[in-house]
């Protein structure tokens, strides 16, 4: 394999979902470059359905308060305050979404394409030593979050919040041996 193929393999293999970030916010320029790289994902019919938003402090503060409210309703004050403290420490925020077409098959393909783009994004950031968590908690399915992000649910759907920052700790992960997920057919 060439050196570059080896480095792609290394980035793919070593990337981990990060829960614990340093406080420093990574440079926006690096994030913008990673988003541009993300858009080189495959996409059927060249729909380029992905949309990304880099969220500034005002929007993040609104999201944190919305989530605190949701957690308070479900789990009470103590859990809500703990979540608020944790979410306030997340350094960088991106919202990922895709444009809906109204055709269920095309939307399935558009969802697949944006997921490919998100993986590109996670890898491009990891290659810059920036860790991420792709989060799909209950808040991502609320009308309030759509409204806060200026998303019209008729034409666009949130696929996740991508938290990013320099990792404070990098957890271990594991995968099944490939023989368990691969079969060869005659």
Ligand X SMILES: Cc1cc2nc3c(=O)[nH]c(=O)nc-3n(C[C@H](O)[C@H](O)[C@H](O)COP(=O)(O)O)c2cc1C
Residue 185 CB, shortest distance to ligand X, in Å, is: 27
Residue 115 CB, shortest distance to ligand X, in Å, is: 7
Closer by beta carbon to ligand X, 27 or else 137: 137
Closer by beta carbon to ligand X, 17 or else 30: 17
Cα separation of 96 and 65, whole Å? Answer: 20
Closer by beta carbon to ligand X, 15 or else 100: 15
> Would you tell me which residues interact with ligand X (CB under 6 A)?
16-17, 133-137, 160, 173
Residue 33 CB, shortest distance to ligand X, in Å, is: 22
Closer by beta carbon to ligand X, 176 or else 184: 176
Residue 68 CB, shortest distance to ligand X, in Å, is: 17
Contact between 15 and 123 under an 8 Å Cβ cutoff? The reply is yes
């Amino acid at each position: 394999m060439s050196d570059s193929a080896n480095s792609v393999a290394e980035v793919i293999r070593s990337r981990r979902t990060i829960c614990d970030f340093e406080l420093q916010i990574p440079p926006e320029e690096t994030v913008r470059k990673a988003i541009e790289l993300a858009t080189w994902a495959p996409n059927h019919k060249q729909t380029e359905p992905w949309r990304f938003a880099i969220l500034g402090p005002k929007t993040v503060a609104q999201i944190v308060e919305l989530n605190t409210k949701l957690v308070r309703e479900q789990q009470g004050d103590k859990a809500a305050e703990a979540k608020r403290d944790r979410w306030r420490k997340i350094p960088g925020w991106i919202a990922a979404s895709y444009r809906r077409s109204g055709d269920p098959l095309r939307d399935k393909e558009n969802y697949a394409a944006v997921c490919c783009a998100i993986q590109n994004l996670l890898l491009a950031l990891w290659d810059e030593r920036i860790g991420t968590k792709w989060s799909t908690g209950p808040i991502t399915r609320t009308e309030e979050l759509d409204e806060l992000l200026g998303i019209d649910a008729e034409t666009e759907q949130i696929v996740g919040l991508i938290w990013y920052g320099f990792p404070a700790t990098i957890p271990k992960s594991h995968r099944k041996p490939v023989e368990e997920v691969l079969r060869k057919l005659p």
